Structure 1
Amino acid sequence: MTEQHYPVPTPDQVEALMDNPDLTWEDVPADEAPPVLAESEAEEVMVVRSLRMPLELHQRIRAEAEARGVTWSELLRDWAAIELAALSDDQPISRADAMRALASIPPRRTA
Protein backbone atom coordinates (compact mmCIF):
# COMPACT_ATOMS: atom_id res chain seq x y z
CA MET A 1 0.00 0.00 0.00
CA THR A 2 1.44 3.37 -0.93
CA GLU A 3 1.60 6.08 1.66
CA GLN A 4 -0.40 9.21 0.86
CA HIS A 5 0.69 12.64 1.97
CA TYR A 6 -1.85 15.37 2.54
CA PRO A 7 -1.06 19.02 3.12
CA VAL A 8 -1.03 19.97 6.79
CA PRO A 9 -2.04 23.57 7.50
CA THR A 10 0.17 25.71 9.65
CA PRO A 11 -1.22 27.19 12.87
CA ASP A 12 -1.36 30.60 11.14
CA GLN A 13 -3.45 29.14 8.30
CA VAL A 14 -5.86 27.57 10.78
CA GLU A 15 -6.17 30.84 12.69
CA ALA A 16 -6.82 32.75 9.45
CA LEU A 17 -9.56 30.29 8.53
CA MET A 18 -11.23 30.51 11.93
CA ASP A 19 -11.10 34.33 11.88
CA ASN A 20 -12.63 34.55 8.40
CA PRO A 21 -15.57 37.00 8.64
CA ASP A 22 -17.48 35.05 5.96
CA LEU A 23 -17.82 32.08 8.32
CA THR A 24 -20.56 32.15 10.90
CA TRP A 25 -20.82 29.88 13.91
CA GLU A 26 -23.97 29.20 15.84
CA ASP A 27 -25.22 26.55 18.21
CA VAL A 28 -28.39 24.82 17.12
CA PRO A 29 -30.32 22.72 19.65
CA ALA A 30 -30.18 19.05 18.69
CA ASP A 31 -33.97 18.80 18.29
CA GLU A 32 -33.92 21.71 15.79
CA ALA A 33 -30.94 20.55 13.77
CA PRO A 34 -31.69 19.10 10.34
CA PRO A 35 -31.20 15.34 10.06
CA VAL A 36 -27.97 14.13 8.59
CA LEU A 37 -29.98 11.94 6.20
CA ALA A 38 -33.55 12.29 5.01
CA GLU A 39 -35.80 9.38 6.02
CA SER A 40 -35.93 8.11 2.42
CA GLU A 41 -32.12 8.21 2.21
CA ALA A 42 -31.69 6.45 5.55
CA GLU A 43 -33.70 3.48 4.27
CA GLU A 44 -31.15 3.01 1.47
CA VAL A 45 -28.06 3.05 3.71
CA MET A 46 -26.33 -0.30 4.06
CA VAL A 47 -24.29 -0.82 7.22
CA VAL A 48 -21.22 -3.04 7.19
CA ARG A 49 -20.87 -5.23 10.28
CA SER A 50 -18.18 -7.68 11.28
CA LEU A 51 -19.41 -11.08 12.40
CA ARG A 52 -17.44 -13.92 13.97
CA MET A 53 -18.70 -17.46 13.48
CA PRO A 54 -17.32 -20.98 13.33
CA LEU A 55 -15.86 -21.95 9.96
CA GLU A 56 -18.35 -24.81 9.52
CA LEU A 57 -21.31 -22.46 10.00
CA HIS A 58 -19.84 -19.98 7.52
CA GLN A 59 -19.37 -22.76 4.95
CA ARG A 60 -22.95 -24.01 5.42
CA ILE A 61 -24.35 -20.49 4.99
CA ARG A 62 -22.21 -19.89 1.90
CA ALA A 63 -23.36 -23.20 0.37
CA GLU A 64 -27.01 -22.37 1.08
CA ALA A 65 -26.62 -18.92 -0.48
CA GLU A 66 -25.06 -20.45 -3.60
CA ALA A 67 -27.85 -23.03 -3.82
CA ARG A 68 -30.44 -20.22 -3.66
CA GLY A 69 -28.58 -18.05 -6.15
CA VAL A 70 -28.12 -15.14 -3.76
CA THR A 71 -25.15 -13.58 -2.02
CA TRP A 72 -24.11 -14.48 1.51
CA SER A 73 -25.18 -11.00 2.65
CA GLU A 74 -28.60 -11.24 0.97
CA LEU A 75 -29.27 -14.58 2.62
CA LEU A 76 -28.34 -13.32 6.08
CA ARG A 77 -30.45 -10.16 5.58
CA ASP A 78 -33.41 -12.32 4.54
CA TRP A 79 -32.98 -14.63 7.53
CA ALA A 80 -32.69 -11.67 9.92
CA ALA A 81 -35.83 -10.05 8.43
CA ILE A 82 -37.73 -13.34 8.65
CA GLU A 83 -36.78 -13.86 12.28
CA LEU A 84 -37.62 -10.27 13.23
CA ALA A 85 -40.96 -10.53 11.42
CA ALA A 86 -41.69 -13.80 13.20
CA LEU A 87 -41.05 -12.06 16.50
CA SER A 88 -43.72 -9.52 15.54
CA ASP A 89 -46.16 -12.23 14.31
CA ASP A 90 -45.80 -11.28 10.64
CA GLN A 91 -45.90 -13.86 7.80
CA PRO A 92 -42.74 -13.16 5.78
CA ILE A 93 -41.12 -15.02 2.92
CA SER A 94 -37.53 -14.63 1.80
CA ARG A 95 -36.63 -12.51 -1.20
CA ALA A 96 -35.20 -15.60 -2.90
CA ASP A 97 -38.47 -17.52 -2.38
CA ALA A 98 -40.46 -14.56 -3.69
CA MET A 99 -38.25 -14.35 -6.80
CA ARG A 100 -38.64 -18.10 -7.43
CA ALA A 101 -42.41 -17.83 -7.04
CA LEU A 102 -42.58 -14.90 -9.44
CA ALA A 103 -40.33 -16.67 -11.96
CA SER A 104 -42.66 -19.69 -11.95
CA ILE A 105 -45.67 -17.64 -13.12
CA PRO A 106 -46.19 -18.24 -16.86
CA PRO A 107 -46.14 -15.17 -19.11
CA ARG A 108 -49.49 -13.62 -19.96
CA ARG A 109 -50.81 -14.57 -23.37
CA THR A 110 -51.78 -11.75 -25.67
CA ALA A 111 -54.49 -12.13 -28.25
Structure 2
Amino acid sequence: MCLCTNTIQIAVAEGICNIHNSFYESLKKQFQSLRDDLCETLISVGLKPIIPQGSYYILADASKLEAKTSKEKAMFILNKTGVATVPGSAFYKNEIGEKYVRFCFSVEDHIIHKACSRIKRLF
Protein backbone atom coordinates (compact mmCIF):
# COMPACT_ATOMS: atom_id res chain seq x y z
CA MET A 1 0.00 0.00 0.00
CA CYS A 2 1.35 3.40 -0.92
CA LEU A 3 0.08 6.69 0.49
CA CYS A 4 0.75 10.08 -0.99
CA THR A 5 1.29 13.23 1.02
CA ASN A 6 -1.79 15.37 0.81
CA THR A 7 -1.81 19.00 -0.23
CA ILE A 8 -2.38 20.36 3.28
CA GLN A 9 0.67 18.52 4.65
CA ILE A 10 2.82 20.02 1.90
CA ALA A 11 1.45 23.52 2.55
CA VAL A 12 2.04 23.25 6.31
CA ALA A 13 5.59 22.01 5.77
CA GLU A 14 6.32 24.93 3.45
CA GLY A 15 4.74 27.36 5.91
CA ILE A 16 6.89 26.09 8.77
CA CYS A 17 10.00 26.49 6.63
CA ASN A 18 9.04 30.11 5.94
CA ILE A 19 8.66 31.20 9.57
CA HIS A 20 11.34 33.75 10.32
CA ASN A 21 13.99 32.73 12.86
CA SER A 22 13.11 35.73 15.05
CA PHE A 23 9.83 33.99 15.94
CA TYR A 24 11.74 31.08 17.46
CA GLU A 25 14.21 33.38 19.23
CA SER A 26 11.33 35.34 20.75
CA LEU A 27 9.62 32.13 21.86
CA LYS A 28 12.88 30.87 23.37
CA LYS A 29 13.33 34.09 25.39
CA GLN A 30 9.73 33.95 26.60
CA PHE A 31 10.07 30.37 27.83
CA GLN A 32 13.46 31.08 29.44
CA SER A 33 11.93 33.97 31.36
CA LEU A 34 9.01 31.84 32.58
CA ARG A 35 11.40 29.02 33.50
CA ASP A 36 13.65 31.37 35.44
CA ASP A 37 10.73 32.95 37.33
CA LEU A 38 9.34 29.57 38.33
CA CYS A 39 12.76 28.16 39.30
CA GLU A 40 13.51 31.20 41.47
CA THR A 41 10.17 30.78 43.21
CA LEU A 42 10.72 27.07 43.81
CA ILE A 43 14.18 27.73 45.24
CA SER A 44 12.78 30.46 47.51
CA VAL A 45 10.43 27.94 49.18
CA GLY A 46 13.08 25.23 49.51
CA LEU A 47 12.16 23.05 46.55
CA LYS A 48 15.13 22.11 44.38
CA PRO A 49 14.40 22.38 40.66
CA ILE A 50 16.28 20.52 37.97
CA ILE A 51 16.61 23.40 35.52
CA PRO A 52 15.59 22.27 32.04
CA GLN A 53 17.69 23.20 29.03
CA GLY A 54 15.14 22.47 26.32
CA SER A 55 11.69 21.63 27.63
CA TYR A 56 8.91 23.48 29.39
CA TYR A 57 8.75 21.15 32.38
CA ILE A 58 10.58 21.49 35.69
CA LEU A 59 11.15 18.48 37.90
CA ALA A 60 11.59 19.68 41.47
CA ASP A 61 12.88 17.80 44.49
CA ALA A 62 10.06 18.20 46.99
CA SER A 63 11.51 16.01 49.73
CA LYS A 64 11.28 19.02 52.06
CA LEU A 65 7.53 18.45 52.17
CA GLU A 66 6.33 16.15 54.95
CA ALA A 67 4.23 14.04 52.56
CA LYS A 68 5.74 10.61 51.87
CA THR A 69 4.83 9.84 48.25
CA SER A 70 5.08 12.08 45.22
CA LYS A 71 1.31 11.82 44.78
CA GLU A 72 0.85 13.07 48.35
CA LYS A 73 3.34 15.87 47.64
CA ALA A 74 1.47 16.87 44.47
CA MET A 75 -1.86 16.85 46.33
CA PHE A 76 -0.38 18.88 49.20
CA ILE A 77 0.82 21.54 46.76
CA LEU A 78 -2.55 21.54 44.98
CA ASN A 79 -4.55 21.81 48.20
CA LYS A 80 -2.30 24.46 49.73
CA THR A 81 -1.75 26.65 46.64
CA GLY A 82 -4.16 25.63 43.88
CA VAL A 83 -1.19 24.86 41.63
CA ALA A 84 -1.35 21.46 39.93
CA THR A 85 1.77 19.33 39.55
CA VAL A 86 2.41 15.79 38.33
CA PRO A 87 3.84 13.26 40.81
CA GLY A 88 7.42 12.30 40.03
CA SER A 89 6.52 8.63 40.35
CA ALA A 90 4.83 8.93 36.94
CA PHE A 91 8.30 9.25 35.38
CA TYR A 92 10.35 6.70 37.35
CA LYS A 93 10.03 2.96 37.84
CA ASN A 94 11.78 2.97 41.20
CA GLU A 95 11.23 4.96 44.36
CA ILE A 96 13.54 7.83 43.33
CA GLY A 97 10.53 9.50 41.71
CA GLU A 98 8.78 9.74 45.06
CA LYS A 99 10.72 12.85 46.01
CA TYR A 100 9.85 14.78 42.82
CA VAL A 101 6.94 16.73 41.42
CA ARG A 102 6.80 18.16 37.91
CA PHE A 103 5.70 21.68 37.02
CA CYS A 104 4.83 22.87 33.51
CA PHE A 105 5.45 26.45 32.41
CA SER A 106 4.02 26.40 28.87
CA VAL A 107 1.23 28.78 29.80
CA GLU A 108 0.64 32.51 29.54
CA ASP A 109 2.87 34.80 31.58
CA HIS A 110 0.13 35.95 33.96
CA ILE A 111 -0.70 32.34 34.87
CA ILE A 112 2.92 31.59 35.82
CA HIS A 113 3.14 34.82 37.82
CA LYS A 114 -0.07 33.92 39.67
CA ALA A 115 1.23 30.38 40.29
CA CYS A 116 4.53 31.77 41.60
CA SER A 117 2.75 34.04 44.08
CA ARG A 118 0.66 31.08 45.26
CA ILE A 119 3.71 28.80 45.59
CA LYS A 120 5.35 31.41 47.83
CA ARG A 121 2.54 30.71 50.34
CA LEU A 122 3.66 27.08 50.58
CA PHE A 123 5.63 27.58 53.82
- What range is the shorter-chain TM-score in? under 0.3
Which of these two proteins has the greater Rg computed from alpha carbons?
1
Q: Normalized against structure 2, the TM-score is what?
A: 0.24
Under a length normalisation based on structure 1, what TM-score does the superposition of the two structures give?
0.26
Q: Which of the two has greater strand per residue?
A: 2
More helix as a share of residues: 2
